[in-house]
Structure 1
Amino acid sequence: MEQKEMKTGTLLKRFVPYYKKYTRIMVLDLLCASLTTVCELILPLILRYITNQGLKDLASLTVQTIVGIGVLYFALRIVDGLASFYMAYTGHVMGAAIETDMRQDAFEHLQKLSDNYFNNTKVGQIMSRITSDLFDVTEFAHHCPEEFFIAFLKTAVSFVILAGINLPLTVIIFVFIPVMAVSCSYFNIQVKRAFKKQRNHIGELNARIEDSLLGNKVVRAFANEGVEIEKFNRDNQEFLNIKRQTYKYMAAFQNTIRMFDGLMYVVVIVAGGIFMIKGLIDPGDLVAYTMYVTTLLATIRRIIEFAEQFQRGMTGIERFTELMDASVDIFDEEGAVPLRDVHGSITFDRVSFEYPDDHNPVLSNIDLKIRPGEKVALVGPSGGGKTTLCNLIPRFYDPTEGRILLDGQDIKNVTLQSLRGSVGVVQQDVYLFSGTVYENIEYGHPGASREEILGAAKMAGAHEFIMGLKDGYDTYVGERGVKLSGGQKQRISIARVFLKNPPVLILDEATSALDNESEHLVSQSLERLAAGRTTLTIAHRLTTIRNADRILVLSGSNIIEEGNHEELIKKQGIYYQLYTSAGEAEQN
């Protein structure tokens, strides 16, 4: 979705507060910039003095005077060198620190966003916003105040000195500057837009690469390597076209500056020469004047060259701001309190839900009470709202209407940390982090002792196979656990929940993707895990939930049947049809 372009002033207001921590460094950096500017601007004055004295009274220029001037200028160059070192080193470190702060803020904000944001945003775009988009912020954060401060200082001092030498000529020269600024503004705006297009397309390119690499097995299975290469080539060429457009505007921008640059030199040569002939300016003054104009033009050129870096930085800040402006839908309400001593009683009070992006009703007016320690199974056709109902309990989403109570407390009035700490989820699609088996189990309770982690693995029936791995608990599982089988990954995920030890457990088709042997082993682990906990099981294979205390049949956004296995079989309703159909499918 195309984002509305933000104004530069708005972006700067959002960015400037990041300097607050580094005020002292910034002040010293600008002080050093002042020193380097003074050192640069004093040379034309020295040459003006020597030239004019030489033409007027050469005898007044002694060797001692010249050497003294040389020593003074050399001392100034030492000061210039020290100041430049501070700017190049400490200034850049400050820029990198600001980039780090922004990336930290972006990552923390991402942790607060709901599933709805991630469902509608490509991971490649998110990665681009918190990595490459912020790379140019380091240079921007350092150079932006420094370059503009130096430019202002040089322009102001040059104007004062040039006006003192010859005011009419100075007025003519400085009239060109606003005309040049207006002429270049169009190209400057186009460059900014082109850079934003680049950033957006880099995100799309990242998303394309990620999608293809994560699905590489599917690509190879269908022999579609050529298709993926073609799609990538199309996106890659589009990126080249965007860069070509960017460079066209940059070239026009720089060429406009060079034309004005040449025009100003022509004015200095012609008008300055005429003024010298008429005795309105001394030769030494004209030399100094020319040097100051050169300094002024060099400053303008430097700002122009910085314009590319400026627009890159502003584009990075804009995309960062867009991410930070993504609304946090799920958050701690004011006055939220931590959950304590959770028993596991769950109540759905007239709960309805529809997804924000399509507004199709998924759940409608659900009334449900689950007792502490009760085993409840959810069955029904695909799309009936089983997973959605379970996702509402840990507040992955909030109900559109109604409320959910845990131990009699509205879950909106308790802290997310304590709520989600009380709910354990075992999903069909297990996600293991890149790291070791030990680290993945420890994720259930960071900082747990080794004895606790091994105990959780044993309860999950995972200890034996883990010890059979090459490096035991220190075995690297690969990205997304690719080095382990489905059953092994599932038992590690169960061990993770054992370690978490939550009073409420959600099993989301945890065995549906496993073979019979793995399903048997994992089912045993799940039975041990569910003991003594309030458990909601979303079942694909109905034979696995025959012993549930209660079975709920969801269809058409409502609970249409409710009871235990025997009761529902006797009714010969939807559950009976699902169960008998599943039995016939398994026999076949």
Structure 2
Amino acid sequence: MTSLVRILRFAPQLNRLYLGIAVSSVLAAVLTLATPFLIGAATDRIVAAIAGETTVEDAVVAVTWLAVAFLAVEVTTTLVVSVGGYWGDVMAARMRTILSTRYFDQLLHLPQRYFDTAITGRVTNRLNRTINELTQFLQFFANNAFTMLITTTAVLVITAFYWWPLAILLAIVFPVYMWLTAKTSAKWQVWEGEKNIEVDMASGRFAEVVSQMSVVRAYNRQDHELAGFRERFTRTVGITRKQSRFWHGMDAWRRLALNVVFGAMYLIVFVRTAQGLFSVGDMVILLQLMNMARQPIFSMSFLVDSAQRAVAGSKDYFEVLAEERERAGGAGPQGRGAAAVAAGQPRADDDGGTDVRRGGAAPSRPAQPRADVVPGDGTGGVPAQPRADVVPAVRFDEVSFAYDPDASRPVLDRVSFEIPQGQRVALVGESGGGKSTIAHLLMGLYPVTGGRIEVFGQDVAELDLAELRERIAAVFQEPSLFSGTVRENIAYADPAASDERVRAAAEAAYAHRFVEAFDDGYEQVIGERGLRLSGGQKQRIAVARAVLKDAPILVLDEATSALDTKSERLVQAALEDLMVGRSSLIVAHRLSTIASVDRIVTLRGGRVQEVGTPAELAESGGIYAQLLRLQKAGTKEARKMLKEYGLSG
């Protein structure tokens, strides 16, 4: 239950709702307890009238007032329960919002390594399943638990007033029943965890298949995917059979024992009433009190069942929150927020919304002015343009890196090179040789395992990651568009950008003409991952996004390799314009593109082999010179070897 207590502590801003629910529960329980006494009093008055101990007229007046009191109690109880139920529903909805926001906030700040191995569908399903189970339990608990607890306590006290042995019997029943239930739930949780794994895996595969339906159909794998999906859920049926058989078998024994105990209690009340030790009214009161006590006990099974589901689900939730967050680079608001979430502590500003100051786009601390930096060109407050004769825009110094810390051979081994301000540097090497990894390290997606990366003379390891990424615009082989409008995708780095800026960016990317041809122009919805656009159109939107960001450093990772010749020419022209005045790191797929850069860095086995201008390396006899000879040879074997380097002519 510590997980549930931890969840409740997550949202101190809901304390007033908790208090309101508790008060309404107390009132509802007290009002409910008045009913047996009203019925008991009416019973005694009627019995007295029948026995001739009082007049019928007096009895009628008395029971009429008792009936009015009963109606007033019932109406008031209905109102109190309704208000409490409303507060419980609102509390659950706000709790869902807070838990969901915390989960998404955590995911947004986890390191890239987490997403390299995580299954997207499983990550998504955790949000739905886990938070549903948590909020359903909390809603039931808020609306029922206080009433059950107060009713049970009151019944024990009142029963003890009439005859203490009955109260002792009831007092023994409650803890024994709870103990048996807790013992039963231990095995239940194990099985529930197994089911969650199967459902999450099935949901993960489901999301993958839906996002790649064209591939599934192209290879006629519909039946195979359906069979795998069905198998996962079929396993949950088998687990549920064992789980339910065990749970309900134990529950039947618990209920049977409870029935025997209550049967004995009823017999005692009947006998004592027959002996004249209880009045008929007292008997009615005690029987109703015992019935009231039965309901909380029997409801305990459902409460424990939903609690166990919530506990099992919360383990997945807290596993994600326990993941170490991506380095924020300092003790600014972002860094403190990360620490708070990781520790499971509440934030004062977290009430179902997200403080934009904590988002990934704003730096946690203001950039420190540098004597060697001259004013930028409107890059959003980023210290953008250091003098080229003072520091390079990018510097890799003996950088080593391995995705797996236990790998025998790193992806990069003591890589060193520089990108002078305003120059273009291309990376050349065999496929899988670390070219894209260098781009990812520059953007801070992974921490280096050795060496140092500098941007404008500042160590990336000491920079706030949001501040670092503000300085870099990237265009990748996969455009990675979102399902909104064209305008939203172009203005992704700056949603407040004016229509003029968005249009100017589109024009610079040679995208304005086809965007204007859409029925809704820049408000055209492009579908998930831009499915309504051609490959060339998607890539030009991605280029326009980079243009609008207006960052001083540009990363191009095979940005035109997936395009047809016509689209490639248009995108390449847009990229040429975009690179003007910027420091560019290029992972190119054409030798013709590489020939126009200022410097080339060749890589072999994760190490730098050569650094020089295209003209210098063409005469050096190294990798680049060999590739030029292969291009000139034009044979089938030569083209095959070029492809091993991810290159074409």
Q: TM-score, normalised by structure 1?
A: 0.93
Give the match for residue 375 of structure 1: 424
Matching residue within 218, 228, 233 for 1:231: 228
Task: Say if 2:533 is the partner of 1:484.
Answer: yes
Matching residue within 30, 39, 42 for 1:50: 42
Identity of aligned pairs, percent? Answer: 31
Give the match for residue 518 of structure 1: 567
- State the secondary structure of the residue aligned to 2:326: coil
Give the match for residue 351 of structure 2: none
- State the secondary structure of the residue aligned to 1:295: helix
Task: Say if 2:59 is the partner of 1:59.
Answer: no
Give the match for residue 342 of structure 1: 384
Check 1:319–1:76 CA distance in 2 against 1; reply closer, same or farther (3 A cut): same
Check 1:98–1:272 CA distance in 2 against 1; reply closer, same or farther (3 A cut): same
**8 Å Cα contact 2:85/2:143 also seen in 1:** no
Matching residue within 426, 444, 449 for 2:475: 426
Check 1:357–1:16 CA distance in 2 against 1; reply closer, same or farther (3 A cut): farther
- Post-superposition Cα deviations, 1:456-504, rounded to whole Å, max 9, x if no partner, equal 1111111122223343323221211112111111111001100001100
**8 Å Cα contact 1:394/1:419 also seen in 2:** yes
Shift of 1:100: 0.4
- Post-superposition Cα deviations, 1:374-405, rounded to whole Å, max 9, x if no partner, equal 11000101121111111111211111122211
Matching residue within 602, 609, 612 for 1:553: 602
Alpha-carbon distance between aligned partners in 2 of 1:402 and 1:201, rounded to the nearest angstrom: 42
Task: Say if 2:540 is the partner of 1:527.
Answer: no
- State the secondary structure of the residue aligned to 1:537: strand
Shift of 1:145: 4.2
Give the match for residue 186 of structure 1: 183
Please give the residue correspondences for 1:295-374 in structure 2 after superposition, counting only pairs within 5 Å: 295-334=292-331, 337-339=365-367, 340-343=382-385, 345-356=393-404, 359=407, 360-374=409-423
- State the secondary structure of the residue aligned to 1:62: helix
Task: Say if 2:613 is the partner of 1:564.
Answer: yes
Matching residue within 502, 506, 509 for 2:558: 509
- State the secondary structure of the residue aligned to 2:176: helix
Please give the residue correspondences for 1:408-427 in structure 2 after superposition, counting only pairs within 5 Å: 408-427=457-476
**RMSD, matched Cα:** 2.2
Paired letter, 2:54 = A
**8 Å Cα contact 2:156/2:170 also seen in 1:** no
- State the secondary structure of the residue aligned to 2:415: strand
Deviates more, 1:93-102 or 1:302-311: 302-311
**8 Å Cα contact 1:137/1:313 also seen in 2:** yes
Shift of 1:179: 2.3
Give the match for residue 120 of structure 1: 117
Alpha-carbon distance between aligned partners in 2 of 1:245 and 1:483, rounded to the nearest angstrom: 48
- Post-superposition Cα deviations, 1:229-268, rounded to whole Å, max 9, x if no partner, equal 2212212212322333343244234323321331122211
- State the secondary structure of the residue aligned to 1:223: coil
Task: Say if 2:515 is the partner of 1:466.
Answer: yes
Shift of 1:176: 2.6
Shift of 1:309: 2.4
- State the secondary structure of the residue aligned to 1:352: strand
Paired letter, 1:221 = A
Paired letter, 1:507 = L
Deviates more, 1:94-103 or 1:23-32: 23-32
Shift of 1:543: 2.3
Shift of 1:444: 3.2
**8 Å Cα contact 2:173/2:258 also seen in 1:** no
Check 1:313–1:223 CA distance in 2 against 1; reply closer, same or farther (3 A cut): same
Alpha-carbon distance between aligned partners in 2 of 1:519 and 1:49, rounded to the nearest angstrom: 91
Shift of 1:285: 2.4
**8 Å Cα contact 1:438/1:453 also seen in 2:** yes
Alpha-carbon distance between aligned partners in 2 of 1:267 and 1:356, rounded to the nearest angstrom: 67
Give the match for residue 270 of structure 1: 267
- State the secondary structure of the residue aligned to 1:571: coil
Alpha-carbon distance between aligned partners in 2 of 1:128 and 1:315, rounded to the nearest angstrom: 14
Give the match for residue 31 of structure 1: 23
Equivalent pairs, count: 580
- State the secondary structure of the residue aligned to 2:596: coil
Task: Say if 2:389 is the partner of 1:397.
Answer: no
Task: Say if 2:542 is the partner of 1:500.
Answer: no
Give the match for residue 487 of structure 2: 438
Please give the residue correspondences for 1:161-172 in structure 2 after superposition, counting only pairs within 5 Å: 161-172=158-169
Where does the alignment leave 5 or more consecutive residues of structure 2 unmatched? 333-363, 368-381, 386-391, 640-647
Alpha-carbon distance between aligned partners in 2 of 1:474 and 1:358, rounded to the nearest angstrom: 49
Deviates more, 1:464-473 or 1:499-508: 464-473
Give the match for residue 219 of structure 1: 216
Give the match for residue 5 of structure 1: none
Alpha-carbon distance between aligned partners in 2 of 1:261 and 1:542, rounded to the nearest angstrom: 83
- Post-superposition Cα deviations, 1:409-434, rounded to whole Å, max 9, x if no partner, equal 11233322221111011000111110
**8 Å Cα contact 1:338/1:415 also seen in 2:** no
Alpha-carbon distance between aligned partners in 1 of 2:186 and 2:617, rounded to the nearest angstrom: 68
Alpha-carbon distance between aligned partners in 2 of 1:51 and 1:346, rounded to the nearest angstrom: 91
Alpha-carbon distance between aligned partners in 2 of 1:295 and 1:461, rounded to the nearest angstrom: 75
Shift of 1:273: 3.6
- State the secondary structure of the residue aligned to 2:400: strand
Give the match for residue 12 of structure 1: 4
Matching residue within 625, 628, 644 for 1:579: 628
Alpha-carbon distance between aligned partners in 2 of 1:579 and 1:288, rounded to the nearest angstrom: 100
Alpha-carbon distance between aligned partners in 2 of 1:112 and 1:498, rounded to the nearest angstrom: 25
Give the match for residue 90 of structure 1: 87
Task: Say if 2:184 is the partner of 1:197.
Answer: no
Shift of 1:193: 3.3
Deviates more, 1:193-202 or 1:443-452: 193-202
Q: TM-score, normalised by structure 2?
A: 0.85
- State the secondary structure of the residue aligned to 1:131: helix
